[in-house]
A and B are shown apart, each in its own frame.
Chain A
Amino acid sequence: MQELRVLLYETPGDPYMNLAFEEAFARARGAGLVPDTLRIWRNDRAVVVGYFQLASEEVDLSEAARLGVPVVRRFTGGGAVYHDLGNVNYALAVGAPSSDPIDYAYGRLLRGALAALRRLGAEAEVENVNDIAVRGRKVSGAAATFRWGSCFIHGTLLVDADLGVLSRVLKPPPEKLRSKGVSEVKYRVANLSEILGRRISCREVVEALVEGFEELLGARAYLDVPTRMELEVARLLYRGKYSRPEWNLERFPHHAFASLEEQVASVLGQRT
């Protein structure tokens, strides 16, 4: 039976490091230095904006600063999301598929998260390509990338996040767009615990995600820790990119960080 490496590595108090590590393990998988890997992790209060987003357009930056909510940009497209310890993130990095990677990521890999939600008892459905909704309310959103030679998808799962803080730090979509009912489910988020009417523990969610992806991939999961190389790449990415305002607030592309790219390539290259 195939195996699925599972990492529970997280740095909730440092969202910049959490995202740096996210890129590091995606790249390590792409370079063939680690096997297929599922990571489950959390941030304490943070806003995570999409690769094509400008933080100031999506986030009330002064309110975020006042509430002590850091803003960090991720390397995948899609919209801004609010994280706290009541939101569980999953990330899956596998080898490049032989079929169309976009269909594979959103059409197939996403079903691991769907299976997890159903295991928790939710009548979950995929909506509009990459959202998962229960009774018309979004509890999970996902985003994929195929950069670095792997097929990578990550997503959120709102369990019992503080939606009050969410609505204070995330700017609402422009009024004229809302009235036209654009991607409505995208903006109608809810916590799974509220929908299911019961308390859901983090452990339960982790188990459901692991089992959901085991089932999807026909693989047996085993718990692992990050390799020294993954942590080294994460530290480089943290210093050179994720801890920097020009990455988080200004929307520069990866290639604007040229010397960092060289350093990372050299670390990945040395070990191949």
Chain B
Amino acid sequence: MLRGCAVKRVRKGVVRVEVLVDLERRALAGARITGDFFAYPEDAVWRLEEGLRGAPLGEVRMRVLSLLRGVRLVGSTPEDFAEALEEAVERAVGACKS
């Protein structure tokens, strides 16, 4: 299991992501998304984390955008979250290669 982190600046503050990657399955084993952003309804953040569990690495971006559909973000965009997740995954996988 590989761990990767990313901190992404957004219009208002930061989105921090920590992921666990299951390299054998090429899938996300878990993700934690924290930061000083605003999302409505709030519980969408935990639904996003749950929805990403088991996601194939190539589908992370699509899953994030799909899970955030209908969620109102203030000062950040679904793209910000997708990019932060992808960066954290890249770092986790990269950490293994190096």
Chain A residues in the interface with B (C-beta under 8 A)? 50-54, 57-58, 75, 77-80, 101-102, 106, 128-130, 143-147, 173-174, 177, 180, 182-183, 186, 251, 253-255
B46 touches A253 (CB 8 A): yes
CA A147 to CA B39, docked complex, whole Å: 12
Query: A57-B16, A78-B36 given as contacts; is B45 within 8 A of A52 (CB)?
Result: yes
Instruction: Return chain B residues, CB-CB under 8 Å to A177.
Output: 7, 9, 14
Q: Which of A57, A147, A182 contacts B41 (CB 8 A)?
A: A147
Q: Which of A51, A58, A143, A180 has the most CB of B within 10 A?
A: A51
Q: Is the CB of B34 within 8 A of A255?
A: no
CB contacts under 8 Å to A, within B2-47, are 7, 9-14, 16, 32-43, 45-46
User: Can you list 28 A-B contacts with CB-CB less than 8 angstroms, sorted by A residue number?
Assistant: A50-B36, A52-B34, A52-B35, A52-B39, A53-B35, A77-B36, A77-B37, A78-B13, A78-B36, A79-B36, A80-B36, A106-B74, A128-B75, A130-B12, A130-B74, A146-B41, A174-B14, A182-B13, A183-B11, A183-B12, A183-B13, A183-B75, A186-B12, A186-B13, A253-B46, A254-B43, A255-B43, A255-B46
Complex interface: chain B residues within 8 A of A174 (CB): 7, 14
A186 cross-chain contacts in B, Cβ below 8 A: 12-13
Could you tell me if A53 and B41 are in contact, using CB atoms closer than 8 angstroms?
no
Task: Confirm or deny: B53 has a beta carbon within 8 angstroms of a beta carbon on chain A.
Answer: no
Q: B72 on the interface (CB 8 Å rule)?
A: yes
Which residue of B34, B37, B40, B43 has the most chain A CB atoms within 10 A of its CB atom?
Answer: B34
A80 to B14, CA, bound (A): 12
From residue A126, how far is it (CB to closest CB) to chain B in Å?
A: 13
What's the least CB distance linking B56 to chain A, in Å?
Answer: 26
- Closest CB-CB distance, A172 to chain B, in whole Å? 12
Chain B residue numbers with a CB within 8 Å of A106 are 74
Expressed in whole angstroms, the minimum distance between the Cβ of A18 and any Cβ of chain B is 20
Residues on A with C-beta less than 8 A from B38 are 77-78, 130, 143-144
Q: Is the CB of A51 within 8 A of B42?
A: yes
Please indicate the chain A residues that have their CB under 8 angstroms from the CB of B72 in the complex: 102
| Contact pick for A146, options B13, B37, B40, CB 8 Å | B40
Given contacts A129-B12, A174-B14, contact A77 B34 (CB under 8 A): no
One of A53, A102, A180, A253 near B9 (C-beta < 8 A)? A180
Which 6 A-B pairs have CB atoms at the shortest separation, nearest pair first? A79-B36, A77-B38, A182-B9, A177-B9, A54-B34, A253-B46
Provide the bound-state CA to CA distance between A174 and B6, in Å.
11
Bound together, the chains give a CA A128 to CA B74 distance in angstroms of: 10
Contact A173 B75 (CB under 8 A): no
B residues less than 8 Å from A146 (CB atoms): 40-41
Q: Which residues of A lie under 8 Å from residue B35 when comparing CB positions?
A: 52-53
Decide yes or no: A77 and B39 within 8 Å by CB, A52-B33, A129-B75, A182-B14 being known contacts: yes
Interface string of B49-78 (1 = CB under 8 A from A): 000000000000000000000001011000
Q: Tell me whether A173 and B14 are in contact in the complex, defined as CB-CB below 8 angstroms, given that A54-B34, A251-B34 are known contacts.
A: yes
Contacts of B42 in A (CB 8 A): 51-52, 75, 77, 145, 147, 253
Report B-chain residues with C-beta under 8 Å of the C-beta of A144.
Answer: 38
B13, B32, B46: the one contacting A79 at CB < 8 Å is B13
B9 cross-chain contacts in A, Cβ below 8 A: 177, 180, 182
Please name the residue on chain A nearest to B7 by beta carbon. A174
Shortest CB-to-CB span from B49 to chain A, Å, is: 10
